[in-house]
Structure 1
């Protein structure tokens, strides 16, 4: 699935993305590290992988990497 990087904190290696419908979804350092990235800038197009979150929660991002064409 594609999204747009919205926030990123290099100290915690966590942040959030905006899905194409505008829904913000947060990611943690494990998802960032799984993608092998060193830095992420707001506005960059990214590819994410998700799994269902806890009951009542939205999707949980398991991977964030740059979208390549």
Structure 2
């Protein structure tokens, strides 16, 4: 599934993404840390994996998606 970064805090490494239907989902530091990324910017497209309404893995849409399944 893909989404767009809505917000990201580099200090806490948490943020939110917007699904294409407008729904906003949070992601925590573990999902960001597992991506191997150093920074996200608002508007970036990301591939995400969701469990119980929370993003558990994410990466840039053009890169492989690793992390918890």
TM-score by length of 1: 0.86
RMSD: 1.1
Specify the structure having the higher radius of gyration (Cα). Answer: 1
For this pair of structures, how many residues does the alignment match? Answer: 63
| Aligned pairs (5 A) from 1:4-43 | 4-43=4-43
Match status 1:65 vs 2:59: yes
- Unmatched 5+ stretches in structure 1: 53-58
Deviation at 1:65, TM superposition (A): 0.6
> Which runs of 4 or more aligned residues in structure 1 lie more than 4 Å from their structure 2 counterparts after TM superposition?
none
Name the TM-score, length of structure 2 as normaliser.
0.86
